[in-house]
Structure formats: C-alpha cells, structure tokens
C-alpha cells in the first residue's frame, strides 16, 4: 500500500469516531461531514509520520474546526426565522441491533442537543469531549487553547446547565407507551387523552426551515392538545414510530421521502417536550442513510 493509501486507511479507521464528535458538537449531520472532510484536508497536508497519536491529533483538529463553525453559525443564526433544532438521527426500531448501538453509543439525545445550543462554543466542546468522550481537562484545554483549570470551569458551567434541564426517562418501554398513547389520542383527536399524556408544562417547538413562515413555540398541555386535536388527524396516518437519537419518536413520510420528524422527551411517563423538525435540508440525510 502506498503512503497515501496507508494514511487514508488510518483516517478512515477514525472517521466514525470523528463524525460522532462533530455531530455532538454541531447537531448537524451535514456540518459534521464537512468538519470531517476539512480534517482530512489538514491531515493530507501534514507530516503524518510525526503524529504519534492519530486519535488525539484528529480530535484536536475536528474540535477546533467545530468551534470555528459554531462561531460562524451564531452569526448566521441571527437571520434564522423561528426555532433552530438539531438534525435528527433516525433509525427504525427493528434496526436497533449491534451496529446501530455502536453508532449511537457516544451520541447524545436530541433533547440534550437542544440544551447544548444554549452554551458557548468553548463550553460545548469542553462538555462534549470530557463528559461524553472522557478526555482529560488537560487534553481539552490544549484543543481550545485554555489552561486545564479553565477547561474544567467551562465543562462545569455546561454541566450545571445540562443537569438543570429536565431529565428524560431512559426506559424504552416507558417511552414507547407514551408515544403510542400520543399517537392514539392524536389519531382520534381526543383532547382529554392528549391532556393525560402531555405534561402540564409541556412545550412544542417547530423548525420549519428558513423558507417557511415560522410557527411560535406552544407552551402548556392545553395549547398543545388543542393544536394536535385540530391538525394531527390529517397527518398522523403518515407517521410511524422510529428511534430519534436513541429515543422513541415519529417519522412522517418515509426515509426516502421524509416530511418531518417529531422527537419526544418523556419524563415520568408523560410527554414533556415535542420537537418537530420539518426543514427539508435537515432531513435530506435520512434518504442517504436509508
């Protein structure tokens, strides 16, 4: 194998890991793939023989690329109409086998990604690399150009924000019962049944993309139940249960032709958050992965 072929093989070995790091940092499959490609371009221009720890080198490069991308996105976000939600990772429940488990083992849930959006780029990187991927604060500090103690403080601030957010049920059976109950109530337009499955302070967010009129976030079970009762019966027949970032949710349409994805956050057996992603650009990757 040529030197270039050997380098490419080493890079491809770490590609899944880098893609997961980048997705957790960016909440975007497309941007994560872009970050990984930029890392390859930098590696191909580097003296690879001088790299003793390829994983650490690539993590440093991808981390710095992601920070730059987050900062640039914060500037663009000022012009984004409505709520910005992460791109969902969608898998059919029947696909929940060893390969899928390996793929999402290091990925965080969509609800946490929403929380991470409120952090600064440095806080987000420090939290993801230390708390999710187990890197030392010394390593994190080198990536973000801060001292070890500063990296520790950044991660601590991020951790407090994450822990302050409602913690979803981890039991898949509890999640599935809540999603099934929501689907049944939505199908029938049953207002009382919706109120029973929705937490009193539930929230429903919409990300329709930059080219559509934004919808305001709905707060409270009454407002959400009323919206679902009037709108869902027309669309619920197009929905089927899927795993969204490792938790049960709904896919409207098909993987080849997705309409929207509805992510659920279930807490104490009730639906506490609903995040609807209908931006076509954020669903395009589903057909590629199908």
Identify whether 101 is part of a domain: no
Read off the CATH number of the domain in which 66 is found: 1.20.140.160
Statement: residue 106 has pLDDT above 50: no
Q: Decide if 244 contacts 88 (C-beta within 8 A).
A: yes
d(Cα 12, Cα 8) in Å, to the nearest integer? 6
What is the per-residue pLDDT for 47? 86
pLDDT digits (tens, 9 = 90+) for 45-80: 988 888 888 998 999 999 999 999 998 887 766 666
Statement: residue 233 has pLDDT above 90: no
What is the per-residue pLDDT for 73? 84
Comparing 72-81, 150-159, 227-236, the range with the smallest average pLDDT is: 72-81
User: Within this chain, do residues 144 and 186 fall inside the same structural domain, yes or no?
Assistant: no
What is the per-residue pLDDT for 81? 67
What is the per-residue pLDDT for 103? 45
Identify whether 25 is part of a domain: yes
What is the per-residue pLDDT for 154? 96
Provide the pairing of β-strand 270-277 with 198-207: parallel
User: Within this chain, do residues 240 and 274 fall inside the same structural domain, yes or no?
Assistant: yes
The DSSP H or E segment spanning 219 is strand 218-219
Read off the CATH number of the domain in which 268 is found: 3.10.450.50
Q: What's the mean per-residue pLDDT of the chain?
A: 88
């Amino acid at each position: 194998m040529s030197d270039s072929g050997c380098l490419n093989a080493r890079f491809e070995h770490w590609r899944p890991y880098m893609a997961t790091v980048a997705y957790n940092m960016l909440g975007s499959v497309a941007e994560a793939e872009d970050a990984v490609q930029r890392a390859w371009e930098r590696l191909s221009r580097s003296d690879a023989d001088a790299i003793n720890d390829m994983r650490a080198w690539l993590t440093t490069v991808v981390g710095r690329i992601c920070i730059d991308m987050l900062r640039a996105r914060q500037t663009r976000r000022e012009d984004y109409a409505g709520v910005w939600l992460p791109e969902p990772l969608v898998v059919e429940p029947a696909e929940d086998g060893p390969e899928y488990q390996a793929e999402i083992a290091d990925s965080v849930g969509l609800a946490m990604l929403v929380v991470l959006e409120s952090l600064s780029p440095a806080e987000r990187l420090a939290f993801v690399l230390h708390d999710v991927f187990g890197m030392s604060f010394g390593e994190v500090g080198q990536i973000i150009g801060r001292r070890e103690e500063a990296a520790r403080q950044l991660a601590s601030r991020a951790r407090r924000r994450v822990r302050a957010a409602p913690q979803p049920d981890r039991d898949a059976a509890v999640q599935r019962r809540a999603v099934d109950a929501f689907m049944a109530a939505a199908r029938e337009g049953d207002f009382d049944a919706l109120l029973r499955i929705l937490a009193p302070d539930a929230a429903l967010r919409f990300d329709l993309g930059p080219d559509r009129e934004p919808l305001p976030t709905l707060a409270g079970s009454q407002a959400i139940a009323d919206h679902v009762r009037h709108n869902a019966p027309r669309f619920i027949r197009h929905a089927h249960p899927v795993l969204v970032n490792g938790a049960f949710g709904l896919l409207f349409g098909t993987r080849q032709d997705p309409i929207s994805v509805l992510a659920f956050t279930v807490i104490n057996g009730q639906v506490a958050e609903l995040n609807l992603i209908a931006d076509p650009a954020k669903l395009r990757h589903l057909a590629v992965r199908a």
